[in-house]
Chain A
């Protein structure tokens, strides 16, 4: 089931005018910001389908930038997000794409600074609910509604079990987990949605595992 909570239906509290094109867009931007972990210096966003056709009327562009500035769906600063971002020196580019995507409301968010980059694809599935379907080239499914950790690791025996073991030791319950890889035996990505926020110490333990390259945390 895609929708789990009654507040997915009666909610979110948000700035108008569209739950999918404004609130959903803000949430996609905010997940990108959260995974990136800091305010990016530049933003390059591609819009597809209905997002591409109606972004301006719905404020999809300001909402995405608002999310990247870490604003929640009901934050009234969303309305001025683009001006605020520019004042902070953020370089913003939007591209309207003709390509047909699986979902009509799709955004590809590419952000970065001198230290790194991040590229993710988010879809807005209705009523403000979103899913992240791609991260740095890996396919995944992330609702953005629960705390989660993303682990980039080498595709080797025992890598998954080692991470699961650490979580079990700390009594962290896994709600949803999946593994995606680009090629057999190369890089892989573990997406683990959990019930509680994960502490820095646990993150570090995972980071020190032999086949783990990078761990990122998404806080609820």
Chain B
């Protein structure tokens, strides 16, 4: 069993296997389930992600009215063709937003690694799909590679916004996605780890400050930028750029930064964007009164 990224890369290299394969074999060993069952379960998750993207791209609206419709705007903008960056990256942004808009509307999604950060992995996967034309099996492998890196973060740091801030959620998701993109594009296990490190380094310190305590503002747009970050970091790693700080140390730094974050910035809606005048105004409008003054009734 791998305990950190260094061990994961070492196992992949010494056995001449992809990281996704190492993850599948570990899952078989730990759960005792058959390979077929495990692949089928992941394929079901892939299907859920696909359905959420498709639903979001057609346009959804959350109950609060705070989010929805941005995935549609981005798709229309791509169709016009006058964009400044690239089609794949904007497609990833649109599909990440689509997933999180569905999540905010209490739709069905697959947590990757969490619901609040569920847009990044599928957003990048379905955008890269257009470019690389992967088989269905390769798309499933993408999710196992993401899962392998997420597994290390979850066990050595945190994937909870309440425990470690948004860096632990969208930061982890973006790092997982970057590593999986690299593997799908034909990169080495080392390059996967570099992409994860580069991504996560640029997500360090990101706080969890949801307006009105809803997984909407700024979560949806953080998924958008998490996807963009993952795409760029994957290209950097594939270009041969490496991180001076090893991936495991970046993960450890993320954990320690999370521990020193005040609770007002860890999913309590007490600080950051939640505490801005507009954030408070939106909160009052949605709930009729600020959260901290509200009393619970059955």
Tally of contact residues, B, Cβ under 8 A: 70
- Contact flag A57-B215 (CB < 8 Å), given A5-B30, A96-B296: yes
Give the docked Cα–Cα distance between A53 and B291 (Å): 7
CB contacts (< 8 Å) of A191 on chain B: these are: none
A9–B106 CB distance below 8 A: no
Is residue A34 contacting chain B, with contact meaning CB distance below 8 A?
no
CB contacts (< 8 Å) of B3 on chain A: these are: 1
User: Of B121, B291, B297, which one neighbours A54 at CB under 8 angstroms?
Assistant: B291
User: Of A57, A91, A125, which one neighbours B212 at CB under 8 angstroms?
Assistant: A57
A171-210: CB near B (< 8 Å → 1, else 0) gives 0000000000000000000000001000000000000000
Give the docked Cα–Cα distance between A156 and B113 (Å): 44
Is residue A59 contacting chain B, with contact meaning CB distance below 8 A?
yes
A-B Cβ contacts below 8 A, count: 192
Give the docked Cα–Cα distance between A59 and B106 (Å): 9
User: Of A55, A91, A125, which one neighbours B160 at CB under 8 angstroms?
Assistant: A125
Give the docked Cα–Cα distance between A49 and B162 (Å): 9
B298–A53 CB distance below 8 A: no
Rounded to whole Å, the gap between the CB of B279 and the closest CB of chain A is: 12
Among A1-54, those with CB < 8 Å from B are 1-20, 22-23, 49-50, 53-54
- Contact flag A17-B212 (CB < 8 Å), given A1-B155, A10-B150, A104-B163: no
Is residue B251 contacting chain A, with contact meaning CB distance below 8 A?
no
B residues sitting closer than 8 Å to A (CB atoms) are 1, 3, 23, 26-27, 30-32, 38, 41-42, 44-45, 48, 64, 102-116, 118, 121, 143-144, 146-148, 150-151, 154-155, 158-163, 168, 176, 210, 212-216, 263, 266-270, 286-287, 291-292, 294-298
16 contacts between A and B (CB under 8 A): A3-B155, A9-B113, A13-B108, A16-B104, A16-B107, A16-B109, A49-B162, A50-B162, A53-B269, A54-B291, A58-B215, A94-B297, A124-B160, A125-B163, A126-B159, A126-B162
